[in-house]
Amino acid sequence: MIVGFFLFTFMVLAIVGYFLTGGIGAVGIAVLITVATTWGAYWKSDTIALRMSRAVEADATEYARYHNLVEGLCIASGLPKPRLYIIEDESPNAFATGRNPKHSAIAVTTGLFEKMDRLELEGVLAHELSHIKNYDILVNTLAVTMVGLLALVADLTFRFMWMSGHRRRGSSNGPDPTAILAIVGLVLLIVAPIIAKVMQYAIGRQRE
């Protein structure tokens, strides 16, 4: 699934780049962007997810129950203890992130602590540790990153179309690059959310 999505992202970038530059060099640029994005998602997925969620590291004293539960579960499952974070949010939620069990983290909202007792919290944490053990976090992070890249490309395509439309109007006897970019951008805006949902169902529901 990751390889297929990688190739699809590369294809989209190559097409958009070709129309933007009008040359085969866009293919090389597409390769570099796709590889760089995948590399960044692989190595920095946990950092990106935690910063976006405004998570802060859980103090071992203030959140002793949090640390004790995870330590016990890790001993039972043979996993290394992940880094533990807290998110100031009333909604009960938790997620795991990272590229592998040795470089992973779990974040839990304050709302989850307020609404769940010790046994329920242990169940949630065990669930998140299972995602870490099965490498679900890596696959999901890469998929979301690629979808985000496609959405960014679509947005830039429309912006380019808007800025260059007046300059190109009536200046060429051939196919209008602006119109082509508009079509490509529209397709991207439609396809990217669909792909995101497909990846979510294919990865999320099966893994859950």
What are the pLDDT digits (tens) for 132-170? 998 887 777 777 677 777 777 777 766 766 665 545 554
8 A C-beta contact, residue 65 and residue 124: no
Spot the catalytic one: 71, 114, 120, 128: 128
For residue 140, the model assigns a pLDDT of 72
For residue 82, give the 3-state DSSP assignment.
coil
First-last CA distance in the chain: 17
Nearest to 82, CA basis, from 105, 63, 61: 105
Q: What is the pLDDT of residue 107?
A: 95
Q: What is the pLDDT of residues 53-64, one digit of tens each?
A: 899 999 999 999
Give phi and psi for 101, each to the nearest 5.
Answer: -60, -30
Chain segment 67-85, per-residue pLDDT in tens: 999 999 999 999 999 999 9
Lowest mean pLDDT among 28-32, 101-105, 122-126, 177-181: 177-181
Q: In the prediction, which pLDDT does 38 show? A: 74
pLDDT score of 175 more than 60 = no
The CATH architecture annotation of domain 49-137 reads 2-Layer Sandwich (3.30)
Whole-number Å distance between alpha carbons of 188 and 191: 5
Catalytic: 122?
Answer: no
Q: Where are the domains of the chain?
A: 2-45+149-207, 49-137
Beta carbons of 70 and 81 less than 8 angstroms apart: yes
Q: Percent of the chain beyond pLDDT 70? A: 71
Share of the chain above pLDDT 90, in %: 36
Q: Mean pLDDT over all residues of the chain?
A: 79
Average pLDDT, integer, range 89-99: 92
